[in-house]
Structure 1
């Protein structure tokens, strides 16, 4: 009997099982995180019973660790119990509730953030974008929260903490600086704009993560012809949340007013000949190694909402460097 079963049938069953496995892992993670929260609550309550003894809290953790390791095996060291205790203290009155989709390791990284608004922002963004632990760590280390605040009214800090990043206008999508440490290119090394472009294409997934929400890649060295002259845009993206094209020009040196004029021409062309009536005006971003804000301000119109110049860094800045850059 020569009977064949459609391969889609096997794939359908496979996807069903994978979905079930993912669901089980998420459920186990959620139960574990919730259990740790309740453990932390009981540890704090037990410590409060012995307030009259200064070292009672330390004694509680040490004895609890011995009992739990004896019955449940390794995993309940005093250090881990300290983290569980901190978890309860951190989240008992937090703005953002404990998520069903975040693992315990996610929360370990989040608890390292002292500022409650900043911590809430990263938790919401991790949930919304399904960041892995590694991606969350990278966004924290690159100062995403602080970089987004540069272009916002200080009153918007609470909005970021309660809702995460919401794209309503072009400025919401802009960062300054952009951190490109994933390219593994040294600050001191010599490289051309084409080499920088190739490195970004080679690590496009990382670059899209750095660009932020809603970005999809359209093409590189996208050519258009106007008045019998040919022009090329280094990188073209489309943001589906803002519903507009985003043009990126790469400059390895200092930003010049001619660079802004060139980008203005690119944006004008896309607005008049490429975008459709239902799409919003094109955004142009010049990524440069160095810039002076005064040049940007005097070159562009006062009401400019389409052309932006941002620095890029090839390394993760430390806290002091980031603070200095943002100031």
Structure 2
């Protein structure tokens, strides 16, 4: 007789097993990363002792690769051993700083393994991707964000490919950029949640194609998960085409989100052309309505974002008050930006 799987005891036990399996996978990944870091250290120390020439070092890695694969199976190719060496060289300063830190009072933190466990929270495949990032600040940012947000390797590659670090850094001062590298993206005020512009390449819309605001909205809804990841941290989808009526006239908010970190509603109005002062006035009305009729006293003021094909900073400056913290205009790109161009802007 086939039993139903929809009773509470089964669901509770299922949750425990799933959490345990996830913990086992994480522990295995962390143990592997720690082992590879130590292997990298041994390779570097062996090179330093022998003062090996580059060609001799390659020969040593080839012999080592053959011996390890014979003993333990696949996984110890020459290229992987070179990654282990690079991994140690890249991260050894962090370990030495952790070992001499002031807060290492417990016994576990005093041991090399204890320091390694605290320092590496991602899988080996994640670190292979991170090692390809030459800029130390940029690499640190992506490592923090991947760990905090549980990014898959594919998502890490997409966020790096869409120049997330550069797009966030462009909207911050020097201290803000430094905080990005040291702490990741912290959301403390509305502007912190917004990038300089949004990249919507996953919608499949060509840069030179003709499409309507309705087409753009439909494409976003079809790819809602990707769009919310592009929006940033803490966003929850509330609805589309939310209607409210004044004296017989109906108005519609294209997309409504809620940000649990900012504790406020976030309204999005989609425009396929250049931003106008009428667009800003319309969004001001939407924001005022939500502030006065929808949000509770405990929630923070509503944020309005006008997502447009082409911005107009002068119009924004002269339409909104100087201390504006509620209404923002952001451009979207239908194709991936050039990382080189963004870096030049940043420099």
Name the TM tier (shorter chain): over 0.9
Residue 216 of structure 1, aligned match among 218, 225, 236: 236
Matched, 1:25 2:45: no
CA displacement at 1:63 relative to structure 2:
1.6
Please name the residue that 2:306 is paired with: 286
- Paired with 2:4 and 2:260, the residues of 1 have a C-alpha distance of 42
Please name the residue that 1:73 is paired with: 73
Q: Is the 8 A contact 1:47 1:56 kept in 2?
A: no
Please name the residue that 1:130 is paired with: 150
Please name the residue that 1:249 is paired with: 269
Structure 1 residue runs without a partner (length 5+)? none
CA displacement at 1:178 relative to structure 2:
0.4
> 1:274/1:326 Cα in 2 relative to 1: closer, same or farther (>3 Å)?
farther
- Paired with 2:236 and 2:308, the residues of 1 have a C-alpha distance of 21
- Paired with 2:295 and 2:341, the residues of 1 have a C-alpha distance of 39
Please name the residue that 2:15 is paired with: 15
Q: Is the 8 A contact 1:26 1:100 kept in 2?
A: no
- Paired with 2:314 and 2:250, the residues of 1 have a C-alpha distance of 31
CA displacement at 1:158 relative to structure 2:
2.0
Please name the residue that 2:105 is paired with: none
Q: Is the 8 A contact 2:169 2:346 kept in 1?
A: no
Please name the residue that 1:104 is paired with: 124
Please name the residue that 1:191 is paired with: 211
The C-alpha deviation readout for 1:209-267, integer Å capped at 9, x for no partner, is 11111111111011111233211110111111111111100001111121111111111
How well do the aligned residues superpose, as a CA RMSD in angstroms? 2.1
Please name the residue that 2:163 is paired with: 143
Please name the residue that 2:110 is paired with: none
Q: Is the 8 A contact 2:170 2:345 kept in 1?
A: no
Please name the residue that 1:57 is paired with: 57
Q: Is the 8 A contact 1:216 1:240 kept in 2?
A: yes
Query: Which stretch of the first structure deviates more once superposed, 299-308 or 86-95?
Result: 86-95
> 1:115/1:65 Cα in 2 relative to 1: closer, same or farther (>3 Å)?
same
> 1:6/1:65 Cα in 2 relative to 1: closer, same or farther (>3 Å)?
closer
CA displacement at 1:13 relative to structure 2:
2.7
> 1:215/1:6 Cα in 2 relative to 1: closer, same or farther (>3 Å)?
closer
> 1:5/1:261 Cα in 2 relative to 1: closer, same or farther (>3 Å)?
closer
Matched, 1:170 2:206: no
Classify the secondary structure of the residue corresponding to 2:211: coil
- Paired with 1:136 and 1:125, the residues of 2 have a C-alpha distance of 9
- Paired with 2:261 and 2:215, the residues of 1 have a C-alpha distance of 30
How many equivalent pairs are there?
325
CA displacement at 1:80 relative to structure 2:
0.9
The C-alpha deviation readout for 1:189-225, integer Å capped at 9, x for no partner, is 2211111101111111111111111111111011111
> 1:283/1:4 Cα in 2 relative to 1: closer, same or farther (>3 Å)?
closer
TM-score (norm 1): 0.93
- Paired with 1:128 and 1:55, the residues of 2 have a C-alpha distance of 41
Classify the secondary structure of the residue corresponding to 2:298: coil
TM-score (norm 2): 0.88
- Paired with 2:226 and 2:159, the residues of 1 have a C-alpha distance of 11
- Paired with 1:108 and 1:297, the residues of 2 have a C-alpha distance of 44
Classify the secondary structure of the residue corresponding to 2:93: coil
> 1:6/1:263 Cα in 2 relative to 1: closer, same or farther (>3 Å)?
closer
Structure 2 residue runs without a partner (length 5+)? 99-115
